[in-house]
């Protein structure tokens, strides 16, 4: 009987659109982000990093003006001791910004006792959560786009070469990939902000997951693969199977996915990410750049993986938030 009742409840159609009020939430949250001290600090940090690394890269690239057709892309990827390349910094700046944008998004409303007041307005919880997520994503996109413009601008002024269409397209795809890479950490921090009432706990949990994937996951993958696919007799098939499993495992980490996308997009000569078998290289002229289409095809699974992980994590946060008791 009560089961039937529950079913009937679940089946009933909700009134109106679940997205009523969505843009009001997005506008308010974005305004908050863009005026918060927290974001200003991160913006300064990322601008300094970009300016520093790109300046250093330009020093090394001066000599190759006119020889390298992808000089502007090299601005992102060239490292000069002791500084790593800009993309090396992005690998942790993007998660840092994303986590900073979201770790107190839901629990903050509870702690300020604004949650019940907001949800007593004619909107659904769906709009509140998605609005907060989109605001974070847009803010991230805004910051990254500004940095992208800064780097391209520095390149044009400093190196004196106009960007080619191919370079712009590749770096824009890279920008998009970076936003979704951030989306994963944004959604993750949001899940933790639903689960934990203390923002500090949510921030620490998010950073712990990030550290896990950055530092430990590759080591773990290296330990797990030999256990699951042991090399008993030294056959090439065994070794191949083990290596492939290890590769698959490391690809469960968003860092690996992002790294591979970055590699293929910013280095047009890269023709394979991961394992390369001699047979795949037959007929290929090493060192010739791939067209953008080919590079994209190469990392399309990784790219969709980043997007899918973002969506899955958001969905998890959504389910948890829907079930949450509103009383603060």
Partner 1 sequence: MSELVIETKGLSKRYGDVIAVDALDLAVRRGEVFGLLGPNGSGKTTTILMLLGLTEPTAGSVQVLGLDPARQPLSVKARVGYMPDEVGFYEELTARENLVYIAKLNGLPRDEAYRRIDEVLARMGLSEVGDRRVATFSRGMRRRLGVAEVLLKQPQLIIMDEPTQGLDPEGARELLHIIRELKGEDITILLSSHLLYQVQAVCDRVGLFHRGRMVLEGTVSDLAQQVLGSTYRIQLQADGPASTLMKALQHLPGVVNIERDGDNRYQVAAANDLRAEVANAIVTAGGRLLMLNVEAPSLDDIYARYFQEVEHVAAA
Contact residues for ligand ADP (CB under 6 A)? 325, 327
Phi–psi pair at 247, nearest 5 degrees: -65, -45
* Residue 192 C-beta: closest distance to ligand ADP, Å: 20
10 in contact with partner 1 (CB under 8 A): no
Interface with partner 1 by CB under 8 A: which range of 13-21, 49-57, 74-82, 156-164? Answer: 13-21
Q: Residue 227 binds what, of partner 1, ligand ADP, none (CB under 5 to 8 Å, by partner type)? A: none
Residue with tokens 């509140």: 128
Q: Residue 28 binds what, of partner 1, ligand ADP, none (CB under 5 to 8 Å, by partner type)? A: partner 1
Q: Residue 62 binds what, of ligand ADP, partner 1, none (CB under 5 to 8 Å, by partner type)? A: none
Rounded Cα–Cα distance for residues 79 and 97 (Å): 22
* Residue 73 C-beta: closest distance to ligand ADP, Å: 54
Interface with partner 1 by CB under 8 A: which range of 53-61, 108-116, 173-181, 259-267? Answer: 108-116
Interface with partner 1 by CB under 8 A: which range of 68-76, 87-95, 115-123, 209-217? Answer: 115-123
Rounded Cα–Cα distance for residues 89 and 57 (Å): 13
* Residue 194 C-beta: closest distance to partner 1, Å: 16
11 in contact with partner 1 (CB under 8 A): no
- What H or E segment, with its residue span, contains residue 90? helix 86-102
Identify which of 172, 195, 18 has the alpha carbon closest to the alpha carbon of residue 102: 195
* Residue 201 C-beta: closest distance to ligand ADP, Å: 20
* Residue 210 C-beta: closest distance to ligand ADP, Å: 32
Q: Residue 124 binds what, of ligand ADP, partner 1, none (CB under 5 to 8 Å, by partner type)? A: partner 1
Residue 209 contacts residue 193 (beta carbons within 8 Å)? no
Residue with tokens 């394992």: 275
For the record, the structure tokens of 108 come out as 């903050």
Nearer to partner 1, 43 or 238 (CB): 43
CB atoms within 10 A of CB 1: 5
Q: Residue 48 binds what, of partner 1, ligand ADP, none (CB under 5 to 8 Å, by partner type)? A: none
Task: Classify burial at 279, counting beta carbons within 10 Å of its beta carbon; exposed 0-12, middle 13-18, buried 19 or more.
Answer: exposed
For the record, the structure tokens of 170 come out as 């590749």
Position closest to ligand ADP via CB:
325
Rounded Cα–Cα distance for residues 39 and 135 (Å): 13
Residue 171 contacts residue 74 (beta carbons within 8 Å)? no
Q: Residue 8 binds what, of partner 1, ligand ADP, none (CB under 5 to 8 Å, by partner type)? A: none
- What H or E segment, with its residue span, contains residue 46? helix 37-61
Rounded Cα–Cα distance for residues 57 and 309 (Å): 33
Q: Which residues lie near partner 1 (CB under 8 A)?
A: 9, 12, 14-16, 20-21, 24-25, 27-28, 32, 112-114, 116-124, 325-328
């Amino acid at each position: 009987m009560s089961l039937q009742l529950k079913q009937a409840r679940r089946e009933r159609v909700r009134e109106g659109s679940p997205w009523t009020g969505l843009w009001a939430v997005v506008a308010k949250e974005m305004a908050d982000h863009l005026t918060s001290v927290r974001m200003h600090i991160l913006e300064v940090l990322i601008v300094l990093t970009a300016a520093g690394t790109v300046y250093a890269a330009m020093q090394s690239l001066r000599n190759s003006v006119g020889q390298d057709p992808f000089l502007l892309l090299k601005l992102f990827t060239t490292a000069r001791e002791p500084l790593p390349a800009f993309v090396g910094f992005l690998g942790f700046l993007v998660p840092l910004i994303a986590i900073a944008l979201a770790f107190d998004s839901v629990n903050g409303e509870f702690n300020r006792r604004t949650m019940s007041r907001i949800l007593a307005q004619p909107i659904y919880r769906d709009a509140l959560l998605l609005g907060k997520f989109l605001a974070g994503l847009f803010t991230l996109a805004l910051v990254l786009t500004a940095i992208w413009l800064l780097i391209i601008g520095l390149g044009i002024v400093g190196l004196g070469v106009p960007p080619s269409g191919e370079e712009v397209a590749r770096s824009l795809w890279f920008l998009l990939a970076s936003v979704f890479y951030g989306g994963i950490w944004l959604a993750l921090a949001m899940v933790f902000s639903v689960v934990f009432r203390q923002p500090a706990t949510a921030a620490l949990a998010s950073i712990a997951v990030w550290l896990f994937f950055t530092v430990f996951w590759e080591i773990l993958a290296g330990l797990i693969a030999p256990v699951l696919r042991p090399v008993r007799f030294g056959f090439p098939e065994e070794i191949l199977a083990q290596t492939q499993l290890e590769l698959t495992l490391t690809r469960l980490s968003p860092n690996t996915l992002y790294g591979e996308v970055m590699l293929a997009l910013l280095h047009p000569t890269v023709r394979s990410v991961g394992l390369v078998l001699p047979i795949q290289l037959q007929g290929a002229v090493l060192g010739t750049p791939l067209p953008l289409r080919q590079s994209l095809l190469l990392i399309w699974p990784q790219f969709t993986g980043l997007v899918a992980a973002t969506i899955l994590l958001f969905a998890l946060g959504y389910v948890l938030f829907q079930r949450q008791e509103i009383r603060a």
